[in-house]
Amino acid sequence: MKKTLLSVALCAAGIAQAQLFHLDINLTNPSAAVFTATTLPSGDNSFGTTLFDGISLQVFFNPALPGQTGGTTIGTLRPFLTNLAYDAWISDDVSPGLVTELNIYRDGVGNIVPQSFLTFFQALAGSAVIDLSGQIGSLPTFGTSGPIAAGWTGNPGPQIGTWAVVPELPVGAHLALYGVGFAGVWFYRRSRKA
C-alpha cells in the first residue's frame, strides 16, 4: 500500500508539468515575451471568426493602457485546426475606454481564413514572441491569469481557454520533473508485479 502511494505521488509530481491553462506566458524579458500553447482542448466550441479576428487575452493589461498600441508577432502560435500563424497584436478595449485586452491575430496573407475551436481538439498550438517593452507598467505579474476569448471587440466569440503568466523553468528543472514522473511509473509497475 505504501509503495502504491509513493508511486502515485511521484507520478503526480512528474505530471506537474501538465498545465491547467491554454497559453503560458513568460514575461521575464518584456522585449521578447514568450507565449506558448499547451495541449489543453478548447473550453468551448467557436465558429464565425477568422484569423484576422484572432484571440483576445482578456484583462491582460492592468492598469489599463492610455490608448491602443500594437506590433508584430513572431513565431508559430495559431489555432490548432489552422496551419497559418498569427503575425500581429493590438491592445483592445472590451469595455469602451478601458484598453485592457491583448488581441493576437493574423494581419498578413490568409487573414480571412476561418478559425474554429472545438472542445474535443487542442485549442492552440505553437509559440510566439511579442515585444511588450513599451507596456511594462501594465504587464501582468507572475501567477496572474485570465480568460482567452475567440475574436475581438468587433467580432467577439466565446471563452476558449485561459492564459497564465508562468516562470520559465531551466532545462535541468524540466528534466528533473520528467525523471520524477518516470520514476513514479517504474515504482508503480514494480509494486503491481509484487
14 is in which domain, residue-wise? 1-19+169-194
Judged by DSSP in three states, 112 sits in coil
Phi-psi region of 79 (alpha: psi -120 to 50; beta: other; left: phi over 0): beta
Task: Provide the whole-model pTM.
Answer: 0.78
Q: What is the DSSP letter of 169?
A: P
Regarding whether 75 and 13 lie in a shared domain, the answer is no
Q: How many domains does the chain have?
A: 2
User: CA torsion sign, 34 to 40 to 41 to 42?
Assistant: negative
Regarding whether 7 and 35 lie in a shared domain, the answer is no
The number of angstroms, rounded, from the C-alpha of 69 to the middle of its chain's C-alpha atoms is 21
**Per-residue 3-state assignment (H helix, E strand, C coil) for 37-85:** ECCCECCCCEEEEECCCCEEECCCCCCCECCCCEEEEEECCEECCCCCC
Regarding whether 184 and 149 lie in a shared domain, the answer is no
Regarding whether 34 and 125 lie in a shared domain, the answer is yes
CA 117, CA 106: separation in Å to the nearest integer?
A: 16
pLDDT for 23 equals 96
Model confidence at 96: pLDDT above 80: no
pLDDT for 192 equals 57
Regarding whether 25 and 7 lie in a shared domain, the answer is no
Regarding whether 71 and 26 lie in a shared domain, the answer is yes
pLDDT in tens, 44-95: 999 999 999 999 999 999 999 999 999 999 999 999 999 999 999 999 987 7
pLDDT for 97 equals 79
Average pLDDT of 158-162?
96
CA 96, CA 90: separation in Å to the nearest integer?
A: 15
Model confidence at 171: pLDDT above 50: no
All 3 cell numbers of residue 3? 509503495
Regarding whether 88 and 24 lie in a shared domain, the answer is yes
Provide the percentage of residues in the chain whose pLDDT is more than 70. 76
Furthest C-alpha separation in the chain? 66
- Residue that has been written with the C-alpha cell 498550438 in this structure: 125
Average pLDDT of 140-158?
94
Regarding whether 94 and 13 lie in a shared domain, the answer is no
Regarding whether 83 and 35 lie in a shared domain, the answer is yes
**Contacts made by residues 106-113, CB under 8 angstroms, sequence distance 24+:** 106/51, 106/52, 106/54, 107/52, 110/51, 110/84, 111/50, 111/51, 111/52, 112/50, 112/51, 112/52, 113/50, 113/51, 113/82, 113/84
pLDDT for 167 equals 81
Whether the link from the prior residue into 96 is cis, omega within 30° of 0, is: no
pLDDT for 93 equals 87
Regarding whether 39 and 15 lie in a shared domain, the answer is no
For the chain, report the end-to-end CA distance as a whole number of angstroms: 11
Regarding whether 94 and 5 lie in a shared domain, the answer is no
Model confidence at 183: pLDDT above 80: no
Regarding whether 159 and 75 lie in a shared domain, the answer is yes
pLDDT in tens, 18-57: 458 899 999 999 999 999 999 999 999 999 999 999 999 9
CA 147, CA 145: separation in Å to the nearest integer?
A: 7
pLDDT in tens, 120-137: 999 999 999 999 999 999
- Confidence class of residue 143 from pLDDT cuts 50, 70 and 90? very high
